[in-house]
Each structure stands twice: as C-alpha cells, then as structure tokens.
Amino acid sequence: MTMQTVETPKDKFYISATASMADPRRLILKHDDLFGLFDRYGDIVPVGNNDTGLYYEGTRFLSSFSLRMEGRRLLFLSAAVDEDNLLLSVDLTNPDITLKEKILLAKDSIHLMRSRVLFGNTCYESLSIRNFSGKDVQFQLEFTVDADFKDIFEVRGQKRKMRGTILPSRINNDGLELSYVGLDDVRRSVTVTAARPPDVVQENSLFFTIDLAAAGREDLFLRLSCFPESGSGSAVGYNEAVSERRVQQERLNRNAAEVHTSNERFNESVRRSLADINMMLTTIDGELYPYGGIPWFCTPFGRDGLLTALECLWIKPQMARGVLKYLARTQAAELDRAKAAEPGKILHESRRGEMAGLGEIPFGLYYGSVDSTPLFLMLAGAYWKRTGDNELMRELWPALQKSIAWLDTYGDPDSDGYLEYVPHKEGLRNQGWKDSQDSISHADGSLAQGAIALCEVQGYCYGAKKQIAPVAAFLGDQMLADRLQQDARDLKERFNRDFWDDEKGIFVLALDGEKRPCRVISSNAGHSLYTTIAEPAKAFKAALSLTSARMFSGWGLRTLAEGEARYNPMSYHNGSIWPHDNAIVAAGLSFYGLKEYFLKIFTGIFEASLYMEANRLPELFCGFPRRKRAAPTLYPVACSPQTWAAGSLLAMLQASLGMSFDAENGLVIFRNPLLPDFISNLTITGLMVSKDKSADLDIKRHREGVTVEVIRKSRGVSILTYK
C-alpha cells in the first residue's frame, strides 16, 4: 500500500506523547516557581516516560515519591484539590496485611489522610493516621523518594548527549538529601525531612514505625524542599505554610470582581477560571505575572501573559500592571539573532534550568514572537483606558516608544507596511500564536516560506497603533499620536485589500515571502474582528465562514477548516480547538454586533467545559465533530490548567454584555448587552471602575431585552446602557 504524505519539518522542541494528560487524573498544585503533578494517591510514580513530579525553576527535582504500608500500596478512597487550588487531600486505607495467609490487619482498619500544600520552594505534607481496628496495632510506613533532576525539556522528550552527575544520597537524622551537579556546575538538591525523625533512613527511603492504641491517632509532617543551588531547609511548618497561602489567596481574591449568575454550573466554571488564574500568577521581582500552563509552559510567556491580561482586564485589571512592568523590564535592547532579539521587541518566553543556562535550548530569554510587541502596546492602551493609571504610563513610556519604533523597523523587514517574521535556524520556525512547524501553509498543503505576514498580526498592529495613540497624546506627543492614527487607517485599507479572499469569504491566513496569499480557512481570520481592522461587510462574510460546519465542531471553532490539506482534528494547530482562540474570535463577532454567531461559540465552549475535569478548560482539545452524549475528545499533551484558556469564559462574558470602561470619566458602558440562554440573570460585585471607585450591578434578561440595574456605586461613577 502506498500513502500520500504532506511533508512536516522536524520540530526540535516537539512534546513527546508517550504519556498523556488525558490519562487517569493528575492532581496539580502550584505556588510561584514550584509545581507538582501527582497521581490520585498523591504519589509520584516513575512509570515509563511519566511527567509526574515536583518541579522547580524549570527542573524536575523529585521524580519519585510514594507511600507504602508494610511494603504494600495503600487502597484509594478519594482525592481532591480544594476550590482555591491550595490544598490537596487524599483519603487512603490499608489493604489486608497478611503473614503466611493469616490476616494480621484487616483492610479498612486504618485511615490515612494525606494533605499537601506548596509554599515557596517547599512541598509540605501532613499525614494523619487513625486506627479504627478496635485494637492496638503496630505497622511500618515507608516513604520512598528519588530525583532525576531532569530539565523540563528532557521530560518533554528532548534527548541530550551528556548529563551531569547524580551524587550519592546524604542521610541525616531527620531525613535525606539528593543532589545533582549539572553541566552548568550548579548543584541542585532536594531535601526530604520529617518533623518527627524517622526510625530508619536509607538511601532513598524514610521508615516510620507507627504504634496506635485502639481509636488512636498520630500525625506525621514532611517537608520536600528544592534548591536550585546550595541552600538550607525551610523553618516554616505545615500549618504556617497553609496559613500563609490562605492570606495570599485572600489578597488575590480581593483584586477581582465577584460574578454570580443564575446558572450554578456556569458559576463553577467561573470560579475554576479565577482559581486557575490565581494559581498561575507568579511573583517576579515583586510583581505578579501569569505563567503559561502546567506542565510544559510554567514560565513567563509574553503573548500568553498579554492575551490573558486582556481577557481579564474587566474583572481583574491589576494583573495587567504586572504583565506590562515585567515585559517592559525584559524588553530587548540589542540585536541578537540567536535569541531573535531586536531593539524594542517584547519577550516570547523566559526559561530557567540547566539546558537554558547552557544554551542547549535558545529560550533563556527568547524573543521569537512577532505578535508580543503589538500586543504589549495594545494592552498598555487598553489598561490605561480601563484604569486611568497615568503614573504607570509615564513609567512605561520609554519602553512603549521603543516598541512603536520596532513596528516600523525590525517588525517590517521589507518595508511593505506589514509586520512579518523570518524564521531563524535556531528557535521557532513560526512565530505567531500558531507556532508549530506546520501551522502556516498554502491551500495545497505546502508550507509558507520567506518573510511571513500573518493575518491576525496585522490586526494586532492596527490595534496597537489605535490603542497607544491616546497615550502618546496624553504624554504630550500629539504629532506621534496623529501619525499612529493615520498609520492605522492606512493599514486597515491595505489589509482589507490584500488579505481578503472574496471566493472563500474570509481573510487569508497569511502572505508568504513572495506575497502569495495562504488561501486556507483558519481561525486566525477571526482575530481581525477582535481588533476591528475588518470592514463591516467583510466581518459579516467572515462570520459565516468561521461558524460554518467546516470550522465549528459543535464545541467550538477549529484552528483550521475541515477539508483543508493539512486538516487534522488531533493536530496541535491544524484542526484542534483552543478555548482562548475561540474567545478572541467570539469577542470580535460581538464587537460587530454579530451576536447570533457570537452565542454559537460562547455556548459551545461553555458546554465543553462541563465535560472537563473540575470544569477546567484545557489548552486545547481535538476538533472532531460533536457527538450525542459524548464528551469532547481530549488532546494527549495539552496543558491543564492553561492560563489563557482559563480566561476565555471571562472574556466571552464581557463580550456578551458589550461592557467597556472609561476610567477617566468614571464610566461603565454597556452596548447592546445580551445574556445567553443558559444565564437569565447576573450579579457583579466589587467591579473596579477607577482607583477607589467601584460598582455592584444586577443584570437581567427579560422578553424585551437585558437590563442593567445599579445596586451600589461610588460617587462619580456612571453606568450607561446603549441599545
């Protein structure tokens, strides 16, 4: 048999799918740069190429951590991570403990509750043991540990010619230390210590003899601390760690409006979204930045952080401040082709870990993203309008000016008026949000070559110039503001001429290096509605194409239409469904008043969330058509949680309401507000309007439309509704 194939270039940074995130459930915890993936027993079990582990700063420190009773695995009862993503709890009981076919301890006699929290560089474990056997008992518990100190890229599947040296275990009275000296000469260590000294410590095990009277109880406390360089163990105990995390959580919750609707399932999804976003927020130099996703992208990403901040700007505006400050601080200052860095360009991603430090991967500070820079300008302008934060705009203005300059110089290498990228030998071949090797193609399936001008990136450039022009005027540069507005008008005219495909009724995916259009139907075109670069008549035609059966699966929009040469519903970018992508397109449809098409996407993505574990929308899922009484098909190596996926329902809720802000004048504006069929009323509490000013609103759907009623508002706040 012969098979026709579509050539796909080799991807050095491909994520191996020998283990699947769609397999039986993982329990996930994260705090700042520490995160853990555990099985339902709370264990880290090194089976095959499993990605479970305890990770810190780009390295898997613990690759094995398990609890046994008398050498046997315990029986599983239940497991859960609490609603705030703070505390993991696992209920276990003993199996039959036998000797020569005699039962010494019958199953279900001992209850063990494992509770776990992450704080700083340490995983804290509490093990509560209770005796329900009705008699005195003695048994042995064993914690086994191991550490492979693999870089996250090794866990993803990348092979290395050489690795560093794993040192012999160091045994102490209260536990043990496992260490590794990398090729970068950095000594990484993990210590496993117990508040009550173990009875026996061996090379990879801690043994505890448990003596319990009838109805007796004992509590054990362990600390698993990760040190990327030499350091000492944490002095904080389990209870203190839980208390500190709760204080932090309350602080994060205070910085967001509260949303409650008539649909409890939607409320659960909103709570899950906000909890996941809070979990992914990571302190960097005193500011909070939303990391990309767990496990593969638990690090700062420029594009991801910017789009997440835009999704959540209405409900959680202070997050955007941290995003803008971090990206301004890491903005490229000089030309460095290996890092794809150019003066004024905004970061794609930042990585720590051995391979990044050695340059085995280019992602230590990497700038291979054509859209981060215009999105940085878009967010700055949108944040200023949303909050009226004049002080931050003055602080950021030098960085914003450099990014404006980048748009017209390095961002447009052939001076044709379009933002483009030229693939480099190192790093990513494609540098838009669809950055896999085969994501940008022509109708015949051949890959686009040369300097590539992506459809959505031109919209981002248009949005950047429109949004940042008022900031320039406010800061006294009216000439620049006028030029930016004129540039935006000119770009809109060129874009609607050069990117429109009247036959297909949609904007083309891209122009290649020879200015040939990539005439495929893709979700990228929908982003042109989000930035309003599309002419209204073309926006309506694009809506028809985007929501046709070729693109809309029943759960959401595919990244690439069914029937295109490279369509594959199980691919990363050529037919899969990405919640954040759907949210951007849906918001664009709403901006043009195309509410029927907007609701189709909003409803599909919400209904998909109901089938996901813990109502958590993943990074992506497969694009197969919706089947009756069947859940969406999961993608095997999708990150979950993924921050911009978590923000998608929040963005679509804002778009449904047509909600915008004018902080300078204390205005909250609703244009043609709409509630989907699954929500009849909505209450928003603590909605920040400007500094020290807020409002509480009650929004209801009636036969004649949607009404917005004011429950409470600060002096100087006005609520306007236009229908």
Residues 518-572 have pLDDT tens digits of: 999 999 999 999 999 999 999 999 999 999 999 999 999 999 999 999 999 999 9
Distance CA 44, CA 457 (A): 42
One domain, residues 482 and 609: yes
pLDDT score at 426: 78
Mean local confidence (pLDDT), 260-288: 96
Burial (0-12, 13-18, 19+ Cβ within 10 Å), 271: middle
Residue 22 belongs to a domain: no
> In sequence order, what are the residues at sequence separation of 6 or more whose Cβ sits closer than 8 angstroms to the Cβ of residue 251?
none
Separation CA 140–CA 71 (nearest Å): 8
In a domain, 675, yes or no: yes
pLDDT more than 70, % of the chain: 96
Residues 519 and 645 in one domain: yes
> Cα separations (Å) of 55 from 155, 194, 531?
11, 20, 38
Of residues 101 and 611, more confidently modeled: 611
pLDDT of residue 229: 79
Per-residue model confidence (pLDDT) at position 22 = 47
Q: How far is CA 174 from CA 63, 192, 208, 230, 659, in A?
A: 21, 8, 11, 18, 57
What pLDDT, on a 0 to 100 scale, did the predictor assign at position 2? 37
Does a structural domain hold residue 9? no
Q: What is the mean pLDDT of residues 172-187?
A: 95
Residues 471 and 366 in one domain: yes
Strand, helix or coil for residue 402: helix
Cis ω on the peptide bond leading into residue 295 (within 30° of 0)? yes
Q: Which structure tokens are listed for 212?
A: 């319990």
- Start-to-end CA distance of the chain, whole Å, equals 62
The alpha-helical segments, DSSP class H, found in 610-711 are 643-646, 648-657
- 12 found inside a domain: no
Same domain, yes or no, for 631 and 572?
yes
pLDDT of residue 704: 87
Residues 426 and 370 in one domain: yes
Does residue 19 belong to any structural domain of this protein?
no
pLDDT score of 1: 38
Instruction: Specify whether the CB–CB gap between 189 and 227 falls below 8 A.
Output: yes
* Structure token digits, residue 274: 């906000």
Q: Domain check: are 171 and 286 in the same one?
A: no
Could you say which of 630, 657, 684 is where a domain stops? 657
pTM of this structure: 0.94
Q: What is the pLDDT of residue 345?
A: 99
Range of the domain at 412: 255-657
The CATH number of the domain where 580 resides is what? 1.50.10.10
Does residue 174 sit in the same domain as residue 316?
no
Of 215, 246, 277, which one is at a domain's C-terminal end? Answer: 246
Based on the fold, state whether residues 204 and 268 are members of the same structural domain. Answer: no
Q: In 3D, which of 723, 662, 651 has the Cα closest to residue 693? A: 662
Given a contact cutoff of 8 angstroms between Cβ atoms, the answer to whether 528 and 534 are in contact is yes
38-80 pLDDT, tens digit each: 999 999 998 766 889 999 999 999 999 999 999 999 999 999 9
Q: Are residues 92 and 222 in the same domain?
A: yes
pLDDT for residue 329: 98
**Is residue 15 pLDDT above 70, yes or no?**
no
Same domain membership, residue 292 and residue 192: no
- Alpha carbon 508 to chain centroid, angstroms: 28
Q: Are 139 and 70 in contact (CB under 8 A)?
A: yes
Question: What is the sign, positive or negative, of the torsion defined by CA atoms of 95, 98, 101, 103?
Answer: negative
In a domain, 7, yes or no: no
Assess whether 635 and 689 both reside in one domain: no
Distance CA 174, CA 156 (A): 34
Last residue of a domain, one of 246, 267, 298: 246
Closest C-alpha to 386, from 305, 471, 444, 476? 471
Q: Which residue has the higher pLDDT, 478 or 15?
A: 478
Round the average pLDDT of the chain to a whole number and report it.
Answer: 94
| Nearest in space to 455 (alpha carbons), one of 423, 488, 501, 422 | 501
Q: How many domains does the chain have?
A: 3
Better-scored residue on pLDDT, 273 or 158: 273
pLDDT of residue 18: 44
3-class secondary structure, 582:
helix
Instruction: Tell whether 298 and 203 lie within a shared domain.
Output: no
The predicted model gives 241-265 an average pLDDT of 94
**Contact yes or no for 566/441 (Cβ under 8 A):** yes
Question: Residue 12: what pLDDT?
Answer: 58
Residue 11 lies in a domain: no
Predicted confidence (pLDDT) per residue in 630-655, tens digit: 999 999 999 999 999 999 999 999 99
Distance between CA 53 and CA 27 in Å, rounded?
11
pLDDT surpasses 70 at 278: yes
pLDDT for position 228 = 87
- Spell 13-33 as b/e; 16+ CB within 10 A means b: bebeeebebbeeebbbbbbbb
Domain CATH number, residue 95: 2.70.98.40
Average pLDDT over residues 222-231: 86
- Confirm whether 517 is domain-assigned: yes
